[in-house]
Amino acid sequence: MINEAENINPPENKTAESNHDVDSNSDNLSIAPKPNLPPLSNKEQIHLKKQGDLVYITLPSIRISDVNNEWERVIDDFKIRLQKIEKSWQPETKVHLDSQDRLLDIRQLRELNQIFVQENLKLDLVITKRRQTAVTVASAGYSVKQESSIPLFAQKNNQYAQDLAEPLYLKNTIRSGVEISHPSTVIVFGDVNPGATIIAKGDIYVWGTLKGIAHAGCRGNSESLIMALRMIPTQLRIADLVARAPDNPPDNEIAEVAYISKEGIRIRRADNFTKVNIYLPEKRCWVYQYNSELKFERNDDLKIVN
């Protein structure tokens, strides 16, 4: 049984007789021959691998020389090789698509998804190193995980390497079942519905209602914040702390921010948060300051959720 696309022999070259374009707009149906093109190399092909209950599909990061129809050649090659392999997966098997550093637009994403549907596959997650691709995928309503493009040695030598990554801006509502993962700050101009999840190494800002799950500072950054115009989350996570929403949250119409205090995750008004609170790295928490005095907590204007 063949499970990897790289093990599939590339299709034979089309003959000169069948490799023609027919111009249907011409009265005489003129035929224009195409140049014979070599088959794609292993590094230029889309790779497919079934592992457990998932199918992993990886797009080529190396572009082929004839850039005018590069994507069409890659897709045609993939379709032909799919016809030759044994379909060992169950209907609706989930696909994790790794686009690597390739810039994927909405047309290409839909074309790939159409192929998956025809093969009884379901696109579940897109992994990318490109911020614009992450925006495209999330806007189309799919789960996306953006990996850091920062070299591994830089990440090891700098615990705040995520600050070097650009924030991810999403101008749409995050629907139930969608998960967004980003190596820096995530800013959503819309709502985060119940069943949706946002995971960020930096902060999370929701210019709408947060009803789903938000995990800021997912790599241990306890300075990270979660802010929403309306805060009624299913669950909040900051660094390694987890909190759930209160059973009867107040119906506030003001922006609020969640942060780590000495006593765990708390929520308070966001309008003057950074003016009256500072972060203490040695304590790994935010503290309230008033008249130049530091206090680990104050009792009013706070909503305990942990």
Query: Domains of the chain (ranges plus CATH)?
Result: 1-147 (no CATH), 164-306 (2.160.20.70)
CA nearest neighbour of 80 among 32, 39, 20: 39
Highest mean pLDDT among 11-20, 27-36, 188-197: 188-197
Q: Is the pLDDT of residue 241 over 60?
A: yes
Question: How much of the chain exceeds pLDDT 70, in percent?
Answer: 77
pLDDT tens track for 180-230: 999 999 999 999 999 999 999 999 999 999 999 999 999 999 999 999 999
Confidence class of residue 33 from pLDDT cuts 50, 70 and 90? very low
**pLDDT at position 253:** 79
Q: Is the pLDDT of residue 113 over 50?
A: yes
CA nearest neighbour of 227 among 295, 273, 181: 273
**CB contact set of 87 (below 8 Å; sequence gap of 6+):** 119, 120
272: its two tokens: 């003057």
Average confidence (pLDDT) over 36-53: 89
Confidence class of residue 65 from pLDDT cuts 50, 70 and 90? low
32: its two tokens: 């224009």
Confidence class of residue 294 from pLDDT cuts 50, 70 and 90? confident
Confidence class of residue 62 from pLDDT cuts 50, 70 and 90? confident
Q: Is the pLDDT of residue 256 over 60?
A: yes
Confidence class of residue 165 from pLDDT cuts 50, 70 and 90? confident
Tell me, yes or no, if the pTM score tops 0.85. no
Position with higher pLDDT, 297 vs 232: 232
Average confidence (pLDDT) over 263-270: 92
Average confidence (pLDDT) over 99-103: 92
**DSSP secondary structure letter of residue 5:** G
Residue pair 205/222 in contact by the 8 Å Cβ criterion: no
Position with higher pLDDT, 14 vs 211: 211
How far apart (Å, rounded) are the C-alpha atoms in residues 174 and 198?
9
**pLDDT at position 292:** 67
How far apart (Å, rounded) are the C-alpha atoms in residues 267 and 283?
19
Spacing of C-alpha 163 from chain mean position: 17
Backbone angles phi, psi at 4, to 5 degrees: -120, 135
**pLDDT at position 148:** 76
Position with higher pLDDT, 257 vs 246: 257
**pLDDT at position 257:** 95
Cβ-count burial 206-218 (b if 16+ within 10 Å, e if not): bebbbbbbbbbbb
pLDDT tens track for 128-163: 999 999 999 999 999 999 987 654 444 444 454 445
Average confidence (pLDDT) over 7-33: 41
How far apart (Å, rounded) are the C-alpha atoms in residues 8 and 42?
10
